[in-house]
């Protein structure tokens, strides 16, 4: 095969927009991406960008790391066979997760720079020996990596610097902002309007998980059909629960998976609020900054989030949403009963005041780490 510059991307899923943006960044840097990707069975309407060579590593169970080991062994063999067809080694390997960083170490020689990217911390949600083992593995990965990419500053200060105090020297923070193409998208010019003769539309947009916070929303909205309706767009472990509620209650609607970013404008133009209340008992949730923060603010849709999180800190600073406590009894019902249309409109107006630079990814930053490797 050709000896052109190329990079390898090891991806845990084919459908995540962040993974697609990394591949786009590699392409912008003039490097050919070869992507080895597992499948999760969710959101497979979303694809890697044209021009990327995508090699299917097969399905993998979500969250069950021990169950992945046989699949990693098969992936090792498949990647080795594919890599043998290339004339030269890749310029670098981007591993999008801890298990994929281990896979990179098994497949590629130490002379190939390793880029380790984390969008969600895994070991911190465990305890005892498992948490200790994951931290030890990650410490070795970070020490070997040429670059560490994280999507939230809290991941760096509250976790990685504690397992490796020197890691900041190689770390890059690239938040989950909207792609540069959104700079030409049509952002609302006036605050959200909610006519008094219709119900307030709450949206859930994305991966359907966290039963401790999503199931209470379904129940609370179902009980308040005169004031609220719920529109769910997405896929994930709780899809069947959402579908069941939608079949029983006339004010709950399930719209299925969507294309990101193609369908976002239509989705956000329809909903009045975005429910992004994740389970803040999880350390990862307390530190993460999900892409829903940037999407909601761009489209001037106020966001509902869980307290005691970095996400809540951002929302509070911008005054663009509502902060509630999943640890309180009937937390969704109490919030909905006290919510008013003027409060939503005020936060929608505040969203429009947030500068575009805070919401749109900087292409120079997103490719700088690549150019340093070439």
Mean pLDDT of 344-370: 93
Q: What is the pLDDT of residue 2?
A: 47
Mean pLDDT of 236-251: 97
On average, the pLDDT of the chain sits at: 93
Helices marked H in the chain: 17-28, 65-83, 98-107, 128-144, 153-155, 161-163, 211-222, 239-248, 264-270, 283-287, 291-298, 310-318, 331-338, 341-352, 363-371
pTM confidence score: 0.93
Q: Specify the range with the lowest mean pLDDT, choosing from 1-15, 150-164, 261-275.
A: 1-15
pLDDT digits (tens, 9 = 90+) for 52-71: 999 999 988 665 555 667 78
- Domains of the chain, each with CATH number or no CATH: 6-177+361-371 (3.40.50.2000), 183-358 (3.40.50.2000)
Mean pLDDT of 21-26: 95
pLDDT digits (tens, 9 = 90+) for 123-137: 666 667 878 888 899
| Cβ atoms of residues 313 and 286 within 8 Å | no
324: Cβ contacts below 8 Å, ≥ 6 apart: 277, 304, 305, 306, 307, 331, 332, 335
Q: Looking at the predicted structure, is the pLDDT value of residue 25 above 50? A: yes
């Amino acid at each position: 095969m050709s000896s052109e510059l190329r990079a390898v991307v090891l991806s845990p899923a084919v459908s995540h927009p962040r993974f697609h943006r990394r591949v786009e960044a590699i392409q912008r840097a003039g490097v050919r991406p070869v992507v080895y990707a597992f499948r999760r069975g969710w959101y497979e309407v979303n694809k890697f960008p044209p021009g990327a060579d995508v090699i299917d590593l097969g399905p993998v169970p979500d969250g069950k790391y021990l169950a992945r080991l046989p699949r990693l062994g098969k992936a090792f063999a498949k990647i080795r066979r594919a890599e043998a067809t290339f004339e030269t080694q890749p310029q670098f390997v981007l591993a999008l997760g801890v298990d994929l960083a281990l896979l990179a170490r098994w497949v590629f020689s130490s002379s190939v720079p390793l880029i380790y990217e984390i969008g969600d911390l895994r070991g911190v949600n465990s305890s005892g020996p498992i948490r200790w083992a994951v931290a030890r593995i990650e410490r070795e990965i970070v020490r070997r990596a040429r670059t560490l990419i994280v999507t939230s500053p809290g991941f760096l200060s509250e976790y990685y610097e504690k397992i490796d105090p020197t890691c900041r020297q190689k770390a890059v923070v690239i938040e989950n902002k909207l792609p540069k193409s959104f700079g030409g998208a049509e952002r609302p010019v006036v605050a959200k309007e909610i006519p008094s003769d219709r119900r307030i539309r709450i949206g859930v947009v994305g991966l359907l998980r966290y039963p401790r916070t999503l199931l209470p929303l379904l129940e609370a909205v179902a009980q308040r059909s005169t004031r609220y309706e719920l529109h769910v767009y997405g896929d994930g472990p709780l899809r069947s629960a959402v579908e069941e509620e939608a079949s029983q209650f006339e004010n709950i609607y399930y719209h299925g998976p969507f294309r990101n970013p193609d369908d976002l404008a239509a989705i956000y133009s329809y909903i009045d609020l975005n429910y992004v209340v994740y389970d803040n008992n999880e350390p990862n949730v307390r530190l993460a900054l999900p892409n829903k923060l940037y999407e909601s603010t761009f489209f001037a849709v106020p966001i509902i989030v869980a307290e005691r999180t970095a996400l809540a800190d951002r929302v509070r600073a911008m005054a663009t949403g509502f902060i509630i406590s999943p640890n309180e009894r009937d937390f969704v019902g109490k919030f909905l009963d006290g919510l008013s249309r003027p409060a939503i409109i005020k936060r929608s107006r505040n969203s429009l005041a947030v500068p575009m630079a805070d919401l749109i990814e900087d292409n120079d930053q997103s490719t700088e780490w690549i150019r340093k490797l070439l």
